[in-house]
Amino acid sequence: MPRIPSWCVATVFAFVFPACAVSLTAQETGETPPDSLGWHRQAVGQLNLTQVTFDNWSEGGENAVAWQTTFASSFAYRTPWYAWESSLKLGYGRSKLGNSDFRKSIDEIRLESVLSRRTKSPIAPYVGLLARTQFSTGYIYEDSTRTATSGFFDPAYFTESLGIAYQPTGVLKTRVGAAVKETFTRLYNTYSDNPSTAQVEKHKVEGGITSVTDLNAKLRDDVLLVSTLELFSDLKALRRTDVNWESTLTVQLAKYVNLNLDVRVLYDSDVSARRQLKQSLALGLSYALLKDPAG
């Protein structure tokens, strides 16, 4: 029996789990967010800190310190004829264990903007732009050495798409369309170079099909699940489908204190033949810098 790639399993799970969550949410609350016209703005900032120090501790251990900060905002403008929705997510954090230097633990810049035609049905045409990159240099650490593998705007991904958006409920929406995916690099050309050519390419353009599925479900009054699944296929082969799936489960423990579990799955056959996985669990402060009065 052929072995099913792990990224395929993760992708199927990413579709099934949000669908189950939406079903449960709809059964429990029966509510949909208000859809008033005009501006809707939201912005939330978070700060997480961890510190451990040992002095003459017989049971052993290493000093540790870690911090990470995130900022997420969304801006939407709705008229009777169209809706323009944009979101920005920034995240950065570093950690230090023992005598090692501070190392990057989280680093993300993600910007999305979608313009769609409003219709009486849950299906509507759209045009969109998705950009993703990072702030600082990333390294792979092996013993006492480190190798730089990425940097600011290196790589940077831009996906322009045109297609159909579908929003069956207030918490789940998806869109599928024809797309152009561009990859920009400066020093780390592994992400953009075609190894079959003698020239080193710093800019790669791929045409294909893309889909983005967003889930924003309030499972309880103090539990929020946010999940985004991005797929891109150049239509040459199923195994060449790029997957970027990120889910965040937030539990509000107090007015300004949250527990966050973040899981991210990446698959890009041009970068690695195996799926990539990142998981983080953080406890910290959260504050709403902007809050939409409409909810």
CA distances from 115 to 30, 149, 181, 256, 295 (A): 28, 34, 18, 33, 21
The Cα–Cα gap between 73 and 288 comes to 10
Which pLDDT does position 246 carry in this prediction? 95
Q: Is the pLDDT of residue 54 over 70?
A: yes
- Give per-residue pLDDT as tens, 71-100: 999 999 999 999 999 999 999 999 999 888
Give the mean pLDDT of 223-228: 95
Q: What number is the average pLDDT over the span 20-45?
A: 60
CB 29 within 8 A of CB 10: no
Query: What secondary structure letter does DSSP report for 36?
Result: -
Q: Is the pLDDT at 237 greater than 70, yes or no?
A: yes
What pLDDT is recorded for position 294?
58
Torsion on CA atoms 95, 98, 102, 104, rounded to nearest 10? -40
Beta-bridged to residue 179, according to DSSP, are 161, 208
Is 252:258 a contact under the CB 8 Å cutoff? yes
User: Cβ-count burial of 44 within 10 angstroms (0-12 exposed, 13-18 middle, 19+ buried)?
Assistant: middle
- Per-residue model confidence (pLDDT) at position 59: 82
The CA-CA-CA angle for residues 23, 29, 31, to 5°, reads 95
Domain ranges of the chain: 6-35+108-286
Confidence of residue 35 (pLDDT cuts 50, 70, 90): low
Two structure tokens written together for 254:
């107090």
Q: What is the pLDDT of residues 176-191, one digit of tens each?
A: 999 999 999 999 999 9
For range 237-257, the mean pLDDT: 90
pLDDT band, residue 209 (cuts 50/70/90): very high
Contacts of 142 (CB under 8 A, 6+ apart): none
**Mean pLDDT calculated for residue range 228-255:** 90
Closest of 11, 1, 6, 77 to residue 244, by C-alpha:
11
Residue 230 burial (C-beta neighbours within 10 Å; 0-12, 13-18, 19+): buried
pLDDT tens column, 143-163: 888 999 999 999 999 999 999
pLDDT tens digits, one per residue of 161-171: 999 999 988 89
Phi, psi for residue 95 in degrees, rounded to 5: -140, 155
Average pLDDT of the chain to the nearest whole number: 86
Q: How many CB atoms lie within 10 A of CB 97?
A: 14
- Name the band, by pLDDT with cuts 50, 70 and 90, for residue 293: low
Q: If pLDDT is split at 50, 70 and 90, which confidence band does 34 have?
A: very low
Using the 8-state DSSP alphabet, how is residue 151 labeled?
B
State the SS3 of 249-292: EEEECCCCEEEEEEEEEEECCCCCCCCEEEEEEEEEEEEEEECC
Query: According to the model, what pLDDT value does residue 12 have?
Result: 43
Share of the chain above pLDDT 90, in %: 63
Of 239, 222, 223, residue with least CA distance to 231: 239
The DSSP letter of residue 159 is E
Tokens 């669908």 identify what position? 19
pLDDT of residue 20: 44
pLDDT at 50: 87
Span 188-199, average pLDDT: 90
For the whole model, what pTM was predicted?
0.81
pLDDT at 196: 87
The single-letter code of the amino acid at 293 is P
Query: Token pair of 10, please?
Result: 């993760």
What is d(CA 179, CA 76) in angstroms, rounded to the nearest whole number?
A: 23
pLDDT band at 130 (very low <50, low <70, confident <90, very high): very high
